[in-house]
Amino acid sequence: GQQVMQIPQYQHVQEGEDFTTYCNSSTTLSNIQWYKQRPGGHPVFLIQLVKSGEVKKQKRLTFQFGEAKKNSSLHITATQTTDVGTYFCAGSGSYQLTFGKGTKLSVIP
Amino acid sequence: GAVVSQHPSRVICKSGTSVKIECRSLDFQATTMFWYRQFPKQSLMLMATSNEGSKATYEQGVEKDKFLINHASLTLSTLTVTSAHPEDSSFYICSARAFGAADNSPLHFGNGTRLTVT
């Protein structure tokens, strides 16, 4: 079945440093979605990428979808303490979403 | 828009009892709802897909007789953990997809239920 690998599992950064999490799928995806889960909270949808090579930005967050539609990345520029949480990618084949294991981001003030 | 309400947020029960968790879509109709389980520091594990008016589809390894799912209306799905045991303690989260949305469209999550079985 479809598998979605996400690395790293944990990332500790100093406030102001950049952060990147990577997602790889074993199969070609129709789209990829990114969610953020704050500590003690529930996943919240951030963005969806559909096109090969697509790049989308949300303020300090940059999302990329690979040319082969099998990998994706989320990059945060100049992290802030409000960025703390776990970031999940979720890949979609033809039916259901498969979530990666998430990357837990800690930001040291 | 697209608010999903999950209740209760926390529940503590004794071993052997049953617990019902409700998932409601407040401002949209959801023909499909999903139930996930999340262990500490781990990802979301899909347990079952709940379809309004029909039987739920369970993922491999999930006991359907233990985790009863009912999707009686377009805005409500319930998960009942029957004869709960301490190993059932976990964070259970539901999500919903709006009526008419594509199968791979984004999901709207409830706030989750922290179940502790003593």
**Residue A93 with chain B: CB contacts under 8 Å:** 104
For residue B39, name the pLDDT band (cuts at 50, 70, 90): confident
* Residue A21, helix vs strand vs coil: strand
Q: Span B1-30, mean pLDDT? A: 92
Q: Who has greater pLDDT, B3 or B13?
A: B13
Residue B42 touches chain A, beta carbons under 8 Å:
yes
Whether B42 has a pLDDT exceeding 80, the answer reads: no
**What CA–CA distance (Å, rounded) separates B80 from A83?**
35
Report DSSP letters for B21-79, one per residue: EEEEESSS--SEEEEEEE-TT--EEEEEEEETTSPPEEPTT--TTTEEEEEEETTEEEE
Q: How many residues does chain A have?
A: 109
**Residue A90 with chain B: CB contacts under 8 Å:** 107
**What CA–CA distance (Å, rounded) separates A41 from B32?**
22
User: Rounded mean pLDDT of chain B?
Assistant: 90
**What CA–CA distance (Å, rounded) separates A89 from A6?**
7
State pLDDT tens for residues A15-70: 999 999 999 998 999 999 999 999 888 899 999 999 999 999 999 999 999 999 99
- Among chain B residues, CA nearest to A5: B43
Q: Which of B112, B61, B103 is nearest to A96 (CA)?
A: B103
Kindly list the residues of chain A whose beta carbon comes within 8 Å of any beta carbon in chain B: 30-31, 33, 35, 41-45, 48, 88, 90, 92-97, 99-102, 104
Interface of B with A in 61-100 (CB under 8 A): 93, 95
Residue B109 touches chain A, beta carbons under 8 Å:
yes
Inter-chain CB proximity A101 and B43 less than 8 Å: yes
Q: Are B45 and A103 in contact (CB under 8 A)?
A: no
Q: Span A4-15, mean pLDDT? A: 95
Inter-chain CB proximity B109 and A95 less than 8 Å: no
